Structure 1
Amino acid sequence: MPSPFASWPLSPDLLQDLSKVMTPTGVADYIALTLLSMVSATYLSRGILWDQPDPYNYLWYERPQLKMGGAAGANARQETRNIAQKLEEAEKNVVVFWGSQSGTAEGFAHRLAREIALRFRQGTMTADLSDYDPETIAQIPPSKLAIFILSTYGEGDPSDNTAEFWDWINKAQDVSLANVRYCAFGLGNSNYKFYNRVVDVVAQALDRRGAQSLLPVGRANDAEGATQEDFISWKDDLFTMCKDHLGFAEGEVQYLPTMAVEEDESLEPIDLHHGEPDVRETTKASAQCSPVRPVTIASARELFEASDRHCLHMDLDLSSVPEFTYKTGDHLAIWPSNPDAEVERLLQVLGLAARRDIPISIKSLDAATKVRVPTPTTAAALLRYYLEVCAPVNRDHVLGLAQFAPTPEAKTYLLQLGQDKATYANFINRTHVNLGRLLQLAAPDTPWSALPLSYLVETLAPIQPRYYSISSSSVLAPRKPSITAIVSTTPVPENPEELVHGVTSNYLLALSENRRDATHPHGLTYHLNGPSDALQGGQVFAHLRKSKFKLPRVGSCPLIMVAAGTGLAPFRAFISERRQLQQIGRDVGEMILFFGCRRPDEDYIYRDELAELQAALGDRLRIVTAFSRQAGTPRQYVQDRIAECGNDVIRLLDEGANLYICGRAGMARDVEKTVGQAMQQTKGWSASQWNDWSKAFKKRGKWQEDVWG
């Protein structure tokens, strides 16, 4: 349609008048025109010169379950988040909820659900707590049974995938759970102050809202190495309750697969997962973690002087991964592969060596059961990259394997080993037994051709990343984070010549040795180039995880840092960053570092660096050491040195210091006890006053811990 102004006549007089009006006549007019031109240019260049969209912004809004994309992602989008509706649709009577940080609670949940289904023929499903809206738990009818398996880590914290449920169960008002019948089991460690706090708080909250507990809360204690046996004992009580109270009829336990693993030679290599990490399961808190990417190892060096112990410092290069950014105190996760010897052992014993690279497709036979590993793939990739094949076999699995024994003698061997707790405990004290080794021991010269791959997929835990505290400052090395990893090699208690090798740390050691054309000191080999040579040139699959273990915003805030062993890693970064502040003329608060190790000439890591930092910082940094195995001197631990320096510790706390602890949980517990005793003695406080003060201090983020085990 033509413009209504198109027919207007533009006479010469009109044009002359317009020219007079639009011609600048003074300074103000020129300024106005200049500003108008700048505004116009700025607006027109939007999205070209400025305000460009972040190409990685979408990562922060993805649900981790949808990251895989394709069919899996589409299916996940269509699934209901109402657990009561899901139970009805899937025709399930029992749901096993899990909250897991390292994968143990998740493994227990799948194991329990499978056994309930086989033993009692009850429709049973597992449920990741982050996959369902917590308020829908109230809609579960009284004819169903809810089971909660929940881990506690850190300072009594819930796992990442439990966060939404945790907030709801503790804060929801006017919620009735009178319809809900439940049982609960917790995983914890008594070395931590808040042992099994999560399951206790959840059970109390359920009870307050009217839920009916059918069994006393079960608790596993990893400090005593009793997690597996604690779970088995509680599970036996649960099964007794199911028979006596719920009237479940117990039948003969026979293996009924929930997954089908089928060879499919029509698939092309491009269709397969060759070992890349399963991004669907990277994390249940996508806002806290980056995606998984290949990252280059820039350099690696040994930190220990001892020839029989190894500790690695590794610098990583993020140049090829622009979406990776970290802050001082964050964690870096390494995705390992299993050693060649264990992969080959299983392929041979299962009779799959000749068909290791044939494509296999893994499908769920139950709508409520998710496939926990990438598919399609191959048997070799499955055993090398996706399943924890080096983990010890628990008694339940020993008994479960007996039904697939290739000989009567093998079946008898497994039944005798698995049926008696004392016999099994004595056995694992004499030898390290993972799945492959156990199968070889039970039937030395006979392949286990009747043991289906589906059973391994269902019973073995998916391989998990291992997290390391970043030991570099993001201010000094924003694109080169470093990690500090002690290499785990533990002798079997009653057979010191037999060693148990930590999966990830020995994988890193092999990578480090390969950089200088050397071999692993114990002869372990790995496929270091990774799946489809994706890690060629010295790379690892890794991702970053945000941490709350942070320096105070104010550089003048005093610091008290307590570390043992590789717990020193984040404090290396803290002190380096404080030194940088000092160099640019900023005021730096007083710092005390308490550090403990065995001997000063063996495992005092970063000793020369710390000496240089101490010399540069002068009276701003004091380093107090404790050596537990130094010849000619009594054993000392960091808590002993804190007791000796109690006055200085309390003075700094009074001056507003932040206190940080990094290392084993048992050490952290002893440090807190020592600080508490010093505060009570100096200030004349009662135990109650100390507890009130420490709770408030931690709530303000002034007392932070990064601890494990």
Structure 2
Amino acid sequence: MSANPALPLTPLPEAKASDLARLVDGLDNASLWWLSGYAAGLASQPTSVARAVSAALAKEPASAPRLSVVYGSQTGNAKRLAEQLAKNAESAGLQVRLLRADAYPTRELKSERLLIVVISTQGDGDPPDDARGFVDFLLGKRAPELAELKFGVLGLGDSSYPLFCEIGKRLDARLAELGATRLLDRADADIDVERVAKPWAEKALQGVREQLKSHAPLATVTPLRPSAAPAWSREKPFSAEIIANQRITARGSDKDIRHIELSLEGSGFAYEPGDALGLWPRNPPALVDAVLEVLKLDGNTPVSLDDSTQPLRLLLSEQRELTRLSRPLVAQHAALAGSAELNRLLSPDHAAQLARLLSEYQVIDLLRAYPAAWSAEELVAALRPLTPRLYSIASSQKAVGEEAHLTVAHVSYDAFGTAHWGAASHYLASREEAARAPVFIEHNERFHLPRDAARDVIMIGPGTGVAPFRGFVQERAAVGASGRNWLLFGNPHFRSDFLYQVEWQQALKKGSLHRLDLAFSRDQADKVYVQHRIREHGAELYRWLDGGAHLYVCGDATRMAKDVHEALIEVAVSHGGKSREDAQAYVNQLQQQGRYARDVY
């Protein structure tokens, strides 16, 4: 979240004002909202604050049960769902606290009575970065017996991956192993999270109310902050004008990278470097046409969906995923096609082959390779809902005002003899200037600059992973940060793929960028990546970290982020004089302290 603003002129004594500043430092939005409401409740009483607190404590015994909602989120979905569940519980008069997993005091777990965990799974069964410590604690030997705990786990994931919702499954099993009792069965939500998450959350809330029915609800508290919903949100996106769409790779490059600028004028949006812009995409018209053609369906056929009826073409364009294949769709198509080959791939002992199919095929490829007859209604019901895509914002609002800049890799390639595209990137890349796009802001509190502007910052962002660091450098220059800035950037070729080259060179001359190290992997016989530069400059990098620097990594999660993580461990061994075990603990501690943050995808 953003740095807390300086306290305005206040009636508080200086010492109390300092205490207040320390108290709110580091709290997320949900915690600040709760605190503001609590303070308002105290202020509404005729007694002094001290007497009000004493009275509240007398009415609410220390042992009174409360609900703790803990979330681990990489892209914001788990956070959003946890916030909604906590809000609904509070509206029902229940005592509830909402905590990000890395802020949860694990020493309190043994005294918990009601716990809801909402957690996503990344890639090959990994926890989100903000939940690594929480997950390690629960799965480790230090986790306590939990015979008095009632719990529920909502897992989020993507069924395209073999270890679907693996972290949710492991935590659910572990809590039961420690003696806790399930409030309700675990749920595993796919990309279309609402279909599973909404009814599960309602059932979970009902179970919590049953557990707390013998206890008096909390007194109603009037929040200090306005409770009105923002004008624009994920559910109600703002129509932003595209004011620039420029290719920033040379024509000879294998990559088509776009610099996109959008006007946020009139939106009221506020963001910080490290936040993301959410985009609701539209499927390429040529792809929609191809699906209709291969299935011999009429795009004007009316189809009922979510209490409304719309033409099939419109639903396929704006509401259904066509560029991402899912396991449930493959299973349904296998049944319709009567395909022994697809059924073989769906068996447990062919998980690797299925994963390859899901990664290489789009919906159209499946339909062409394994012919089957679908009705319009069956197709729409089987396809997953179209979901928004998140792009790291490549600008600082202090530098660009009511705009947001993006660095977008246009996904466009040939496969199986036909053209293929990515839904969101093609939608943006094909938009002319003055066209509009539906967008919203997704805050990323774990990927913000340090509040202390004197801290040094190390930024590792190959490819389009450099996007947020353009915003970081702009922000640090705008606020006059005294800390140094070091960027490590990589891409295939210097001549064609050096993104924002002129800007980085100007930043070096102005002193807003203090060091720039480059890794162009295919400009020499041996491939060189950013992790090689980390090892090469390991002594200096360790000195920066040892001096309190914050380190950020953005980009590919599958290989780059893992290779960079391993390189950091090796640097701690080579230049920190640590054993490998101590080096791993050192890097993990940097993450827990918020000094090593990743935005990987």
Using the TM superposition, give the Cα deviation of residue 441 of structure 1 relative to its aligned residue in structure 2, in angstroms.
Answer: 5.2
Q: Does 1:481 align with 2:404?
A: yes
1:696 Cα deviation after fit: 2.9
User: Residues 420, 691 of structure 1: CA spacing in aligned structure 2 closer, same or farther, 3 A cutoff?
Assistant: closer
State the shift of 1:361 in Å. 3.5
Report the equivalent of 2:568: 675
Which of 497, 501, 508 does residue 607 from structure 1 map onto? 501
Task: Check 1:608–1:158 CA distance in 2 against 1; reply closer, same or farther (3 A cut).
Answer: closer
Q: Is the 8 A contact 2:487 2:515 kept in 1?
A: yes
For residue 128 of structure 2, what is the amino acid of its counterpart? D
- Write the distance in 2 (CA, Å) between the matches of 1:387 and 1:629: 38
Give the letter aligned to residue 344 of structure 1. Answer: D
Cα deviations by residue, 1:352-408 (Å, 9 ceiling, x for unpaired)? 42634x4x433xxxxxxxx4xx724332221110001233364x544534665xxxx
Counterpart of 2:531 in structure 1 is 639
Question: Which whole-Å CA distance do the structure 1 matches of 2:370 and 2:170 have between them?
Answer: 41
Task: Give per-residue Cα distances to partners, 1:58-99, cap 9 Å, x unaligned.
Answer: xx99xxxxxxxxxxxxxxxxxxxxxxxxxxxxxxxxxxxx99
Alignment of 1:627-706 (within 5 A): 627-631=520-524, 633-665=525-557, 666-706=559-599
Question: Separation in 2 of the partners of 1:103 and 1:560?
Answer: 24
Query: Which range is displaced more, 340-349 or 593-602?
Result: 340-349
Aligned partners of 1:101 and 1:587: how far apart in 2? 28
Q: Distance in 2 between matches of 1:190 and 1:415?
A: 22
Aligned-partner Cα distance in 2 for 1:702–1:578: 17
Aligned with 2:255 (options 294, 302, 309): 309
Distance in structure 2 (CA, Å) of the matches to 1:477 and 1:355: 43
For each residue in 1:499-558, what CA deviation from the matched residue of structure 2 results, as whole angstroms up to 9, or x when unmatched?
4321111111111xx44xxxxxxxxxxxxxxxxxxxxx4000111111121111222211
Contact kept in structure 2, 1:599 and 1:630, CA below 8 Å: yes
Which of 272, 280, 284 pairs up with 1:339? 284
- Where 1:704 maps in the other structure, the secondary structure is strand
- Whole-Å separation in 2 of the counterparts to 1:287 and 1:569: 24
> Is this contact kept in 2: 1:333–1:544, CA < 8 A?
yes
2:214 paired residue number: none
2:237 partner letter: V
Aligned to 2:482: 588
Alignment correspondent of 1:502 = 422
8 Å CA contact retained: 1:295, 1:320: no
CA deviations on 1:258-313 (whole Å, 9 max, x unpaired) are xxxxxxxxxxxxxxxxxxxxxxxxxxx99996841111011110011134420000
Code of the residue aligned with 1:559 in structure 2: it is V
Moved more, 566-575 or 344-353: 344-353
Alignment match, 1:575: 473
Contact conserved, 1:417 with 1:424, CA < 8 A, in 2? no
Contact 1:292/1:541 (CA < 8 Å) preserved in 2? yes
Query: Does residue 544 in structure 1 map to residue 441 in structure 2?
Result: yes
| Percent of paired sites with the same residue | 25
Give 1:207's match in structure 2, choosing from 177, 186, 190: 177
Alignment partner, residue 376 of structure 2: 453
Counterpart CA distance in 2 for 1:491 and 1:354 is 25
CA contact (8 A) 2:299 2:312 kept: no
Aligned to 1:562: 460
1:544 maps to a residue whose letter is: I
Q: Is this contact kept in 2: 1:306–1:603, CA < 8 A? A: no
Residue in 2 that maps onto 1:175:
148
Of residues 617, 625, 631, the one that matches 2:511 is 617
Taking a change above 3 Å as real, the CA distance of residues 462 and 286 of structure 1, as seen in their structure-2 partners, is farther
Structure 2 portions without partners, runs of 5+: 1-31, 34-70, 79-83, 96-116, 192-229
8 Å contact from structure 2 (residues 233, 440) kept in 1: no
- What residue number does 1:152 align with? 121
Q: Secondary structure at the match of 1:472?
A: coil
Q: 1: CA distance between counterparts of 2:352 and 2:128?
A: 33
Q: Distance in 1 between matches of 2:548 and 2:72?
A: 36
- C-alpha separation between the residues in 1 aligned to 2:498 and 2:592? 33
Match of 1:387 among 308, 314, 320: 320
Rounded to whole Å, the distance in 2 between the matches of 1:184 and 1:555 is 37
3-state SS of 1:610 partner: helix
Q: SS at 1:298's partner residue?
A: strand
What is the distance in 2 between the residues matched to 1:340 and 1:386? 13
Residue among 305, 327, 332 paired with 1:400: 332
Q: Which amino acid aligns with 1:557?
A: R
The yes-or-no answer on 1:418 pairing with 2:316 is: no
Cα shift readout 1:385-441 (whole Å, capped 9, x = no counterpart): 0001233364x544534665xxxxxx45x3454345679959977996544554455
Q: Single out whichever of 433-442 and 571-580 deviates more from structure 2.
A: 433-442
Q: Which amino acid aligns with 2:251?
A: A
- The TM-score, its normalising length taken from structure 1, stands at 0.54
Q: Secondary structure at the match of 1:418?
A: helix
Query: Hey, what's the Cα distance between the residues in 1 that align with 2:158 and 2:319?
Result: 24
| Equivalent AA in structure 2 for residue 605 of structure 1 | L
2:57 — aligned with what? none
CA offset digits 1:565-622 (Å, max 9, x no partner): 01101111111222233xxxx452122111111110111100111001111107x611
Aligned-pair CA distance for 1:693 = 2.8
Structure 2 counterpart SS, 1:602: helix
Q: How many angstroms apart in 2 are the aligned matches of 1:594 and 1:103?
A: 26
Aligned residues of 1:186 and 1:218 also touching (Cα < 8 A) = no
SS state of the match for residue 563, structure 2?
helix
Question: In structure 1, what is the Cα distance between the partners aligned to 2:358 and 2:549?
Answer: 48
Query: Per the alignment, do residues 670 and 158 of structure 1 end up closer, same or farther by CA in structure 2, a change over 3 Å counting?
Result: closer
Quick check: 2:249–2:497 contact (8 Å CA) kept in 1? yes
Q: Hey, what does 1:84 align to over in structure 2?
A: none
What code does the residue aligned with 1:649 have?
A: L
1:471–1:573: 8 Å Cα contact kept in structure 2?
Answer: yes
Q: How far did 1:692 drift?
A: 3.2
TM-score by length of 2: 0.63
Cα distance change on mapping 1:459 and 1:614 into 2, 3 Å: same
Q: 1:296 and 2:241 equivalent?
A: yes
Superposed CA deviations along residues 437-487 of structure 1, whole A, max 9, x for unmatched, are: 54455559xxx4xx3434223321100111100001111113011000011
CA distance in structure 1 between the aligned counterparts of 2:526 and 2:73, rounded to whole angstroms: 41
**One-letter code of the match for 1:175?**
E
Query: d(CA) in 1 for partners of 2:585 and 2:294?
Result: 58
What is the CA distance between 1:131 and its match in structure 2? 9.9
Q: Which amino acid aligns with 2:423?
A: V
Q: C-alpha separation between the residues in 2 aligned to 1:191 and 1:690?
A: 30
Matched AA of 1:638: V
- Aligned to 2:483, what secondary structure does the other structure show? coil
Residues 110-129 of structure 1: matches in 2 within 5 Å?
none
Rounded Cα–Cα distance in structure 2 between residues aligned with 1:420 and 1:568: 38
Instruction: Sort the Cα spacing of 1:610 and 1:290 in 2 relative to 1 into closer, same or farther, 3 A.
Output: farther
Kindly state the Cα deviation for residue 191 of structure 1 after the two structures are TM-superposed. Answer: 14
Matches within 5 A, 1:24-43: none
| Paired residue type of 1:501 | W
Letter in 2 for 1:593: L
